[in-house]
Amino acid sequence: MNPRIGVFGGTFDPIHHAHLRMARAFAAELQLDEVRLIPAGQPYHRDSGPHASPAERLEMVRLAIAGEPALRADDREIRRPRAAYTVETLRELRAELGPAAELWFLIGGDSLAQLSSWKAWRELFTLANLAVALRPGFDPDHLPSPVLDEWRARQVHDFSNRTASGTIRPLALPPLDLSATRLRAMLAADEAVDGLIDPAVLAYIRRQGLYR
């Protein structure tokens, strides 16, 4: 059987339970062999850089997913000395995995709405399938017209015909209402974050003095 690989990118600044819940749902709903969590090195689409260093964010991902064999940390983007583009990451993975591998890229509904501003965005569909995590109230009719056209043409709801690339599938499990921005503010204020972040990650944050 050809491998089924998921790609979940983000700044993970820090990684928290909403990220982990979505990674697990991604793996389960799409019956993936592995989900690769890829911390961004220099996100080109953000107004400001991450608060923790690339090495610290990678270590937090590793701590958070320890003991979960379906989840794997991938450091390819933080090793780049320049901004990381999704299309380049997917090109690399496609070259490594081969043309028959079933490759999925996880994206949020808010990012989907901005997809047409991404570098070589149409090429993404030649490299991978898109799994979309949608918050309640998402209305595809509000997507920009180029993305809406792709949504209508490529959306699937089942796996009667699994493909190596080129489809869009909404995930059934909606994201949790938790952001890294909110979590950083809570950490800075020394508020309790139990149940929001992995204990090993929280211990690392405190040892390193992050987000104060």
- pLDDT classification of 82: cutoffs 50, 70, 90: confident
- Look at residue 206 and tell me whether its pLDDT is greater than 60: yes
- Look at residue 159 and tell me whether its pLDDT is greater than 80: no
- Look at residue 187 and tell me whether its pLDDT is greater than 90: yes
- Mean pLDDT over residues 75-99, rounded? 94
Going by their DSSP bridges, the two strands 71-73 and 102-108 should be labelled as: unpaired
Residues in the chain: 212
Question: Taking all residues of the chain, what is their mean pLDDT, rounded to a whole number?
Answer: 93
Q: List the chain domain ranges.
A: 4-208
Phi/psi-derived region of residue 190, left when phi > 0, alpha when psi is between -120 and 50, beta in every other case? left
Cα separation, 180 vs 60, whole angstroms: 13
For the 4-208 domain, the top CATH level (class) is alpha beta
Q: Any idea which residue has 């490299």 for tokens?
A: 127
- Residue 112 sits at the vertex; the CA angle it makes with 106 and 115, to the nearest 5 degrees, is 110
Q: Which of 46-60, 77-91, 142-156, 164-178 has the least mean pLDDT? A: 46-60
- Mean pLDDT over residues 182-199, rounded? 95
CB 11 within 8 A of CB 40: yes
pLDDT reported for residue 150: 97
- Look at residue 3 and tell me whether its pLDDT is greater than 90: yes
- Mean pLDDT over residues 134-150, rounded? 95
pLDDT reported for residue 49: 58
pLDDT reported for residue 44: 54
pLDDT reported for residue 158: 80
pLDDT reported for residue 151: 97
Q: Which pTM was predicted?
A: 0.93
Residue from 65, 116, 124, 121 nearest 91 by CA: 124
Condensed to tens digits (0 to 9), the pLDDT of residues 42-72 reads 755 545 557 999 999 999 999 999 999 999 9
- pLDDT classification of 83: cutoffs 50, 70, 90: confident
The helix-helix angle for 199-208 and 54-64 (nearest 10°) equals: 150
Condensed to tens digits (0 to 9), the pLDDT of residues 92-133 reads 999 999 999 999 999 999 999 999 999 999 999 999 999 999
Tell me the longest C-alpha to C-alpha distance in the chain.
50
Which of the 8 DSSP states describes residue 19?
Answer: H
Radius of gyration over every alpha carbon of the chain, rounded to an integer in angstroms: 17
pLDDT reported for residue 197: 97
